Structure formats: structure tokens, C-alpha cells
């Protein structure tokens, strides 16, 4: 390669998340001029099969695209008062997720200020030594358990700064940590077994028991997380052996300063009794969040009270725990407030990215094109053999999952149409549920319209281009795994 070619290559830089999302917003707005507007009749928030009909177009113009991120932040739709029914039945915009991210940042800022995180990481490094791969395996399994049980998604954003710091100290990089978390929780959600927000909603609408077909979902979960762990460990091992192999090698020093608070890898922060208390409170905060968000009642557990927490409750919880940790850590009133504000400031960019991503769903909803795409998918899958049908359903759900990144929202608007088609193709209905949740989980590993992807990459300071290039092979392997399992299920017929 010539010097001139090298200079050209160095000059090229993949656009930021904001630019990518705005381009997608404009493209989707253009599609509202091309794709015919149409709607199903809805009953109790669910589309009624056979009721699709054309409606008056509502194309989204440039001014709508520009206003979309603002409307997406507040949950406001267009001036006619259209309501977004594609987001789990709620009318919230990105403001709930954005506020959660800011308060998580404040909570982490206070905890970092006490020095407990640095001390804790130092202790972990000392105890693990060269066994960093054990940490990767254990953490990915833990995140996968959260994904498969209750659809761990935005909640995982809270763990990024801590785990990135730990991985850097262990000799890996920020990319390894982001991959560990995103793929762990993401593959867990892809292989949801009892997740009430995807599997539960879908099976309920399809009229089948939650555990029907669970064996296929378990195979996808176990196989998927095994592939994911191998994929992450393969990359992390290369970085450990040679730091120049890191996909973010050019940011090594900057990341060490950003995530380790300016302390060098070799420095040791004493793990005092006070800092041990802070770490206990820190872990208690996350345990409290997990207990609060899991719908224990829906999965048959009655001994633990289901609290039905969502972003409002989680945000308040971390705000309170941040205050408690600050005071327990000896920061005082002023020190706690300042540390909280500094931590929240570091997350402003992440919060804004989430708002821009939500704006895309505003354009699609107000453009009245989602139901048309759904209707086309219904027509595409009719008249196929059982194996061809179930794989076609899986492939059809991939673009649908991009249009509707909310798993429960996707189930609500598609399952009343897709589930009845299974009987015509001689396929068990539970396979349609598995195809839906697998496609949704697969897309949500890469789509910039999903807050977890945009937020996680923003926290890790990783560009979409780098992430997409690296994760492409893994996505292909997971897709093959899912299609093999679906094909076996269609052939067995049970």
C-alpha cells in the first residue's frame, strides 16, 4: 500500500452514532413516500387478522425527520395526535431511558469518587491473576441468565463502566467488555425461555402455554451462549497477548484515563473497611434493581413480591443509593452532589443517542407503513412447506424487528397475524414464537434503533462500523443455529 493510500485510509473515519441514526431517520422518512400507507383494525391493542386496509398516506417530510428525535424523547407523535402503539403498549418516549442513564451515571460517579471501585478492581485482579477468561465466561453466563429470564436490556447499561474498567486492568480492552455484556445479555434474550416481556407476551397472544416448546429455546440459549463465549474469548485472548490487536488500540491511553479515573494499571488503592462497605452497597443496588424488575408472579414464584419496577422506579432507586454511598463514603453533602453531577455529565451523550434512536420509531409510526410491511410479510409466507415456512417466518421477522425494536411491541402487533399461519403450514405454533424472539434478539445485537446497542457502544466509545465488522460472523453463526433448530422442530412437528 502506498503512502498516499495509507493517508487516505487514515483520513476515513466511520460516522458517529448520531450521524448514522439521522441518516436512517431520513431514509425511513423517504420510505413513507414509497411504501403505501395501511392499517389493520385493532382490538385491545392487537391487530385483527384479515382487516388490513389502505389508508390516507401521511408521508414524513424533512421537518418531521428533524423533529423526530425531540418527539421521540417526549413520546410525542405527530400534530394529529397519532399514538405509538408499538412500544409495549406504553406512551413513553426516550425520556425514561435517558433519565435512567443520567442517574446511573451519577450513581457510578459517586461510587468511583470513593475509590471503592479502584480498590475492588485491584482486589479482583490480584485474586484472578491470569484467569481473566474465567471472568468472561462467568459474567457472560450471568448476563445471559438475566436475558433469558426477564429480557435484561437497558438495565445492562449500568454495568458497562465497571466491567470495562475491570477488563482494562486485567489486560484486555474496552471492546472486550462491551462485547461481553452486550452479547451475554443479548444472546440470553435471543434464547428467552421464561422472559415474560417477549416469550410471555407472544405465547399469551398465540394462545399456548409459556413452557410449550421450551426445549427448542433452551437449545438455542445454550448453543448461542457457548458460541458467544468462544467468540469473545478468542478476541480477548488476542488482545491480552498483543495490545496492538485491539480494535480500539488507538484509544488505549485515553480509555485507561477515562475508565480508570486517571490511575495507572499498576497502582494499588487500599481496600479499607469503608470501601468494602461501599462495594457491598454497590452490589446491593444492582441486586435491588434485579429483584424489582423481575415479574416473579408471571414465572410462578409467589414467595418474592413482584414490584413491577420500570425506569422511573429504577432511576429513583439508583439516585437514593448514590446518596447513601456518597455519605457512607465520607464525601459529605457537597462532595456527593458534585460527584453525582460529574457522573451524570459523562452520560449526556449516551442519553441523547437514545433519543435520536427513538425518533426513528416515531417516523415509522406516523408514516403509517409498519402495518403495510406486516401485511406483505403475511402474504410472503403463505403456501410454503413446513421447513420453508418456519425459516421464512424467521427471516421475515428480521426486518420487522428493525422496524419495531421493542420485543413485546413486536409480539403484540405481529403474533395475532403470524401465529394462525402455523396451522396452515403444519408447524407447531410455539416454533413461530421461537422464530419471532430469536429474530428480535439477533437484530437487537446490531441495530442502531435499539437503545442498548447505541447506549452500550457510546459508553464504551466504540463506533458502529467497528462493532458491525467484528460481530458480523457471530450474527451469521447464531442465525444458522436458530434456523437449524427451527428446521428440526418443523420436521419433528412437536
pLDDT tens string 332-347:
999 999 999 998 888 7
Q: How confident is the model at residue 105 (pLDDT cuts 50, 70, 90)?
A: confident
Above 60 in pLDDT, residue 272?
Answer: yes
**pLDDT tens sequence across 332-385:** 999 999 999 998 888 787 777 777 777 777 887 888 887 888 788 778 877 789
Radius of gyration from C-alpha coordinates of the chain: 23
Q: How confident is the model at residue 260 (pLDDT cuts 50, 70, 90)?
A: confident
Above 50 in pLDDT, residue 78?
Answer: no
pLDDT of residue 268: 60
pLDDT of residue 91: 39
- Higher pLDDT, residue 420 or 399: 399
SS3 339: helix
- Higher pLDDT, residue 166 or 182: 182
- Higher pLDDT, residue 49 or 116: 116
Q: Is 334:116 a contact under the CB 8 Å cutoff? A: no
pLDDT of residue 419: 84
Q: What is the mean pLDDT of residues 442-455?
A: 88
Average pLDDT, the chain: 83
Above 90 in pLDDT, residue 485?
Answer: yes
Among 393-397, 464-468, 477-481, which range has the highest average pLDDT?
A: 477-481
Above 70 in pLDDT, residue 263?
Answer: no
Q: Which residues pair with 53 in a beta bridge?
A: 39
Sign of the CA dihedral with 365 first, then 366, 367, and 372 last: positive
Among 121-135, 412-426, 460-474, where is mean pLDDT lowest? 121-135
Domain ranges in the chain? 16-23+33-60+360-492, 95-353
Among 52-66, 201-215, 226-240, where is mean pLDDT lowest? 201-215
Q: What is the mean pLDDT of residues 118-131?
A: 71
Strand runs labelled E in 151-222: none
Above 60 in pLDDT, residue 246?
Answer: yes
Q: How far is CA 420 from CA 48, 410, 424, 429, 440, in A?
A: 11, 16, 8, 8, 19
pLDDT of residue 100: 81
- Higher pLDDT, residue 494 or 481: 481
- Higher pLDDT, residue 232 or 257: 232
b/e code 53-84 from CB counts within 10 Å (16+ = b): eeeeebbbeeebbebbbebbbebbbbeeeeeb
Above 90 in pLDDT, residue 177?
Answer: yes
Above 80 in pLDDT, residue 10?
Answer: no
Separation CA 187–CA 203 (nearest Å): 20
- Cell numbers linked to 434: 421461537
Amino acid at each position: 500500500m502506498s503512502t498516499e493510500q495509507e493517508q487516505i485510509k487514515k483520513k476515513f473515519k466511520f460516522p458517529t452514532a448520531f450521524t448514522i441514526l439521522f441518516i436512517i431517520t431520513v431514509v425511513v422518512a423517504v420510505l413513507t413516500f414509497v411504501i403505501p400507507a395501511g392499517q389493520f383494525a385493532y382490538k385491545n391493542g392487537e391487530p385483527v387478522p384479515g382487516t388490513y386496509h389502505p389508508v390516507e398516506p401521511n408521508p414524513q417530510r424533512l421537518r418531521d425527520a428533524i423533529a423526530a428525535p425531540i418527539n421521540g424523547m417526549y413520546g410525542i407523535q405527530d400534530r394529529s395526535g397519532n399514538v405509538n402503539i408499538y412500544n409495549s403498549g406504553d406512551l413513553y418516549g426516550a425520556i425514561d431511558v435517558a433519565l435512567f442513564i443520567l442517574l446511573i451515571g451519577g450513581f457510578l460517579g459517586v461510587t468511583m469518587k470513593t475509590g471503592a471501585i479502584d480498590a475492588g478492581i485491584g482486589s479482583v485482579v490480584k485474586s484472578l491473576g491470569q484467569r481473566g477468561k474465567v471472568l468472561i465466561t462467568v459474567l457472560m453466563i450471568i448476563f445471559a441468565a438475566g436475558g433469558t429470564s426477564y429480557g435484561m436490556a437497558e438495565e445492562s447499561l449500568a454495568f458497562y463502566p465497571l466491567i470495562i474498567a475491570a477488563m482494562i486492568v486485567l489486560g484486555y480492552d474496552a471492546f472486550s467488555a462491551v462485547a461481553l455484556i452486550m452479547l451475554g445479555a443479548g444472546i440470553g434474550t435471543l434464547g428467552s425461555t421464561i422472559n415474560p416481556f417477549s416469550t410471555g407476551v407472544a405465547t399469551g397472544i398465540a394462545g399456548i402455554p409459556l413452557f410449550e416448546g421450551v426445549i427448542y429455546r433452551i437449545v438455542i440459549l445454550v448453543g448461542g451462549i457457548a458460541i458467544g463465549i468462544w467468540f469473545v474469548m478468542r478476541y480477548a485472548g488476542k488482545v491480552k497477548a498483543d495490545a496492538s490487536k485491539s480494535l480500539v488500540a488507538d484509544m488505549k491511553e485515553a480509555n485507561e484515563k477515562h475508565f480508570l479515573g486517571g490511575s495507572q494499571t499498576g497502582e494499588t488503592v487500599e481496600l479499607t473497611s469503608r470501601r468494602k462497605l461501599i462495594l457491598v452497597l454497590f452490589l446491593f443496588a444492582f441486586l435491588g434493581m434485579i429483584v424489582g424488575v423481575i415479574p416473579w408472579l408471571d414465572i410462578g414464584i409467589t414467595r418474592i413480591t413482584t414490584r413491577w419496577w420500570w425506569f422511573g422506579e429504577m432511576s429513583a432507586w439508583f439516585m437514593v443509593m448514590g446518596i447513601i454511598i456518597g455519605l457512607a463514603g465520607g464525601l459529605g453533602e457537597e462532595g456527593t452532589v458534585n460527584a453525582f453531577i460529574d457522573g451524570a455529565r459523562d452520560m449526556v451523550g449516551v442519553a441523547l443517542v437514545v433519543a435520536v434512536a427513538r425518533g426513528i420509531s416515531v417516523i415509522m409510526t406516523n408514516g403509517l407503513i409498519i402495518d403495510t410491511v406486516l401485511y406483505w410479510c403475511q402474504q410472503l409466507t403463505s403456501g410454503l412447506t413446513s421447513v420453508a415456512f418456519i425459516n421464512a417466518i424467521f427471516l421475515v421477522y428480521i426486518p420487522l424487528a428493525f422496524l419495531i425494536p421493542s420485543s413485546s411491541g413486536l409480539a403484540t402487533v405481529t403474533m395475532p397475524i403470524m401465529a394462525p399461519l402455523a396451522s396452515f403450514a403444519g408447524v407447531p405454533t410455539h416454533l413461530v414464537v421461537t422464530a419471532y424472539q430469536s429474530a428480535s434478539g439477533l437484530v437487537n445485537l446490531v441495530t442502531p434503533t435499539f437503545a442498548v446497542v447505541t447506549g452500550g457502544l457510546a459508553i464504551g466509545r466504540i463506533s458502529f462500523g467497528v462493532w458491525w465488522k467484528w460481530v458480523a460472523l457471530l450474527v451469521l453463526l447464531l442465525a444458522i443455529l436458530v434456523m437449524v433448530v427451527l428446521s428440526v422442530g418443523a420436521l419433528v412437528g412437536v
